[in-house]
Amino acid sequence: MLDNAGIPCFVKNEFAIGGIGDLAPFDCLPEVWLADEEWEPKAKRLLKELLEQNHGEEDWFCPFCKEKNAASFEICWNCGKEST
């Protein structure tokens, strides 16, 4: 996402996931590093916008089986039909 916005950054630990052994899993999670800290306010604003976007979506009810589905689901978790 930051790449799309033209913010220079890189992901650290992206390939460390295969190296989990003695390391705590937390240490192996990918981290995003900005190339320059002057980008931080813009990056944070973008992240906030992204979070708010996701939060703004509402749960929906499947018209076929009436099950409640989270907004992030494009198909019903219960019967597999698409939302309308």
In the complex with Zn ion, which residue's Cβ is closer, 14 or 82? 82
- Strand positions, DSSP E, the chain: 9-12, 31-34, 60-61, 68-69
Query: Pick from 21, 58, 64, 20: which is nearest to 77 by CA?
Result: 64
The answer to the question of residue 76 lying near Zn ion (CB under 5 A) is yes
Stretch of 9-17, 30-38, 44-52, 54-62 contacting Zn ion, by CB under 5 A: 54-62
In angstroms, rounded to a whole number, what is the distance separating the alpha carbons of residues 6 and 9?
9
Provide, rounded to whole angstroms, the least separation between the CB of residue 53 and Zn ion.
25
Pick one of 75, 79, 82, 83: the residue that binds Zn ion (CB under 5 A). 79
